[in-house]
Structures are given as C-alpha cells and as structure tokens.
Amino acid sequence: MGEASLLVVGISHQRAAVGLRERVAIGKAALPESLLALQSDPHVQECVIVSTCNRTEVYAVVNGPAAGPGDDALVQFLARRAGMTSDELAPFLYRLSDVLVAQHLFRVASGLDSLVVGEVEILGQVKDALRAAEAAHTGGKWLYTLFRRALEAGKRARSETAISTGATSMSWAAVELARERVPNLPRAQVLVLGAGATAEGIARALAAHGVEGTMVANRTAERAERLAQLVGGVAVPFAQLLSFLAIADVVICSTDAPHPILSLDSVRSTLAARRGRRLYLIDVAVPRDVEPEVGLLPGVDLMDIDALAARASKGLRRREAEVAKVDQIILDEIDRFAAWQSSQRVTSTIASLQQRAEALRREELRRVSARLANVSPEAQQAIEAATRAIINKMLHHPITVLRETALQGTDARYVQALQELFDLGPGPDQEAISPGAAVAVGGAHRPDPAP
C-alpha cells in the first residue's frame, strides 16, 4: 500500500446558487448507493458525503498525492451528479487536502460556514453523514477520527461560546422571513410542506411565533399527523394539497423530494380560488420543491433558500465577536487531530522499519541455516536472541526520535527521510496520509485561520 491523501471536494452556497446546488444534492434515499459508487473507484479508500440544503461535500482518503487521480475521481463524481463535465463544474468547487480538510469540516460543524452563521442543524447533519458512511461501510479510521473531532469542535463551539445564541437555524430564518412579509403571521394560515427534521424546526418556530393554524402536508400521512400533533397544528391530506394551497397565506416547503412538488401549472390553477389574496411561498428545500417560474405568477412571492442570505448577514453581524472564539476552538481541535495524524504516520513508519529489519534478519539466518544445522537448540535460540537484540538496539534511537517528533508535530521530514533511506512503505495494517498543505505554527501543523 502506498501513500494516501485526505481530501474534500465540495460545492456550497459560498460559490454556487441553489439552481446548481440542487443538481449535485444527494437525498437520504440515494446516499447509500452514492457512497458505494464512490468507493468503487479504485483510487478511493474511504469516503463520507455531507449533503444539505447549503452544500454537497465529498470527504475521502485517496491513493497517492492530493493533486492526482483520487482528486479527479471526486470531481468527476460530483460532475456526473450535476450532468456537467469536470471542467464546467470546477469553477464552483473547492478542493482542500490534509489539515485544511480538518479546518474546513470543523468550521462546517461549528456553523461558521453556514448561510445562517452559528446554525444548530448542521451539527446533526454532520453526525448523520458519518452514520450513513458507517452503515455503508465506506468509512475508516481516518474519516471516523476526523468526523468525531469535528463533532467535538461543533459541540464545544456551542457550549463555550454564544455563536448559536438567538435565531440560528435555517428553519427559524425561514419563519423570520415569513414574519417580515406577513406582519400578522400569528393569525395567518401557514402550510408546512414536509415532515422531516427541517420541517419540524419550521413548525416549532411557527409555534414559537404564536402561529396556531399551522397545517402540515406530507406524502406519509403518519409523519404529517405526528408533526402536527407536536405543535398543535393539523395534518392535511397530501392528495388534496392544491385545495389547501388555495386557502394558505404562507407555504413553507422543506421536503426531500428529488423533483419539484409545486409546478407552475399547479400553482396557477389555485389563483382563481384565492380571489386576489397574495401567496407567499418560501422554499428551503434542495433540490427545490417549487418550480422557479412560479415566482413570475401575479400575486405570488417566491423566496428560495438563497433569499435567506440577507437575513443571515444580520445574524452574522450580531455574532461577529463569537467567531474569533470559535476559530480558537477549531485551532485547538486541529492540533489534536494533527497530533493523532502524526502518531499514525509514525506508527506506520515504525511498523515498516521493524518489518524490513526483521525480514533482513530472517533472510540472513536462512542463508546460513545449513552451516547451523549441527548447532544445538540452545545455541540456535541464543543466535535468534542475539540477532533480535542487535536489531532492537539499532532501531531504538530512530524510533525514539520519531515518537518525540510526532508529539511536537515535526515528524514529517523524519518520516520521509526514513522511508527514502530504507525504501519503506506503510506497515501491513497502516496507511500513511501525506502531510499535505499544512502550515507550521507553534510546532504543530496548523492552517492559517480562515478569513
């Protein structure tokens, strides 16, 4: 087994509008198949996919250097999802390696890379992504450790700082947007389309704003009824969706459907029954639940997830002071991950060095075995012990130095030197992750803080 690299290739609200993000998005139902398809590529050893309304990211351990076939495999995977060529999609992607992957994922889990800064929902989504990879058996020790450290960073950010104080979720932001457009929201007829985690957050936020007439529609009637009971609302038949669309003042959509549920023609067919009453549609689903052309209909205001950006910027200004505190937590967690990463590189090199030395020892004893045929068993045992002792003493100092440098985060050049001098590869049960693009800060591999 050769050298491997830790990578993330992704697309998010930072670079791509919802129209492109929805083409790449992977729903829960398609996630297991997508993970297995990705890992079937010979260059991919481990993979985890994080796909939310704001991002689709592929985290992977790949064979070879960061800028190589493994990276190309991840880009091609996302390009196929989008129905584009790799060159067409590349301008909208970010591609990071090694410790910069850790920095990015820790920021994601902490809510710093979210459209609504400090949002609480993303932490559960990161946890769900890891669980999906575990269920599909596409993860491994590198990504499991990385994601566990990310979850710890996210928990610390929310418990040790005020980054999530106030309305810090996509669900809450959607309801706040509705309140801006409909000042008498508590007395309005609000229809929630969907019954998943985000829809539940929306329903809870509506209840917190005093909305009593919340209606819930979902393809699975039992889930709609359960959510409606949770917030004191009413479940309505999904088959009669257009009838309730005709009486609703606000519709907030958040399903996991792979295609739009409300088409231009279906919404247009309800306008006559509305008798000129304005319809506010807020679509926070990715892929979108409402065809974009619906927003062109007279008397209809359609806001998609990108419309939440303005509201999100207000929340960022209120919490700017907390961002620096979260960044420090992230750097602390990066140090811990880098130290673990160094220990794994060192362990791999030590195992390879010991394996090489033992193989040479056995080979030399085999070459002189005929001359030792008449030697007593006691003498043979003494020879075995002596040759082992020689190897152990010869390797003691370089192994000690490796372990010490691992604790300091300066092991990379020693590992590389030993691998080149002794022509070593990773040990039989180890895979070495290359140091990648890291910046040495205070004796550890730490990235520059994100702007």
Domain co-membership, 98 together with 194: no
At 377 the pLDDT is: 86
Q: Is 438 part of any domain? A: no
What's the average pLDDT block by block, 10 residues per block, for the chain (451 residues)? 82 94 94 96 97 95 89 96 96 94 97 88 95 96 96 96 77 90 93 94 93 93 96 96 96 94 97 95 95 96 84 64 92 89 76 85 86 84 88 85 70 75 63 46 41 41
Where residue 443 falls (left for φ over 0; alpha for ψ -120 to 50; beta otherwise) is: left
Alpha-carbon span 172 to 113, nearest angstrom: 17
Same domain, 156 and 254: no
Instruction: Report whether the peptide linkage leading into residue 447 is cis, meaning its omega lies within 30 degrees of zero.
Output: no
Angle of helix 170-181 relative to helix 309-318, nearest 10 degrees, comes to 110
Q: Contacts by 416-424 with C-beta closer than 8 Å and gap 24+? A: 418/349, 418/353, 419/349, 419/352, 422/352, 422/353, 422/356, 423/356, 424/349, 424/352, 424/353, 424/356
Same domain, 179 and 77: no
Domain presence at residue 443: no
Alpha helices (H) along 90-140 = 99-110, 121-136
What does the pLDDT read at residue 396?
84
**How far is it, in rounded angstroms, from Cα 192 to Cα 254?**
8
Whole-model pTM: value is 0.79
Same-domain check for residues 73 and 141: yes
β-bridge mates for residue 217, sequence order? 193
CATH code at 178?
Answer: 3.40.50.720
Domain annotation covers residue 331: yes
Is the separation of the CB atoms in 206 and 231 below 8 Å?
A: yes
Instruction: Give the closest residue to 238 by CA, choosing from 206, 200, 194.
Output: 194
Q: Which has the closest alpha carbon to 217: 225, 209, 208?
A: 225
53 catalytic, yes or no?
yes
The answer as to whether 435 is a domain residue is no
Exposure letters 336-347 (e unless 16+ CB within 10 A, then b): ebbbebbebbbb
Supply the pLDDT for residue 410.
Answer: 65
Owning domain of residue 267: 170-316
Instruction: Kindly name the residue from 8, 25, 44, 53 that is annotated as catalytic.
Output: 53
What does each C-alpha distance from 37 to 83, 90, 369, 438 come to in angstroms? Answer: 16, 21, 51, 30
In the chain, how many domains are there? 3
Cα 155 from Cα 148, distance rounded (Å): 11
Does residue 45 lie within any of the structural domains? Answer: yes
Same domain for 198 and 159? no
- Whether residue 206 sits in one domain with residue 110: no
Q: What is the DSSP string of 249-299?
A: SEEEE----SS-SB-HHHHHTTHHHHTT--EEEEE--SS-SB-GGGGGSTT
- What whole-number distance in Å separates Cα of residue 267 and Cα of residue 269? 5
* pLDDT given for residue 270 in this prediction: 96
Looking at the fold, whether 100 and 130 belong to one and the same domain comes out as yes
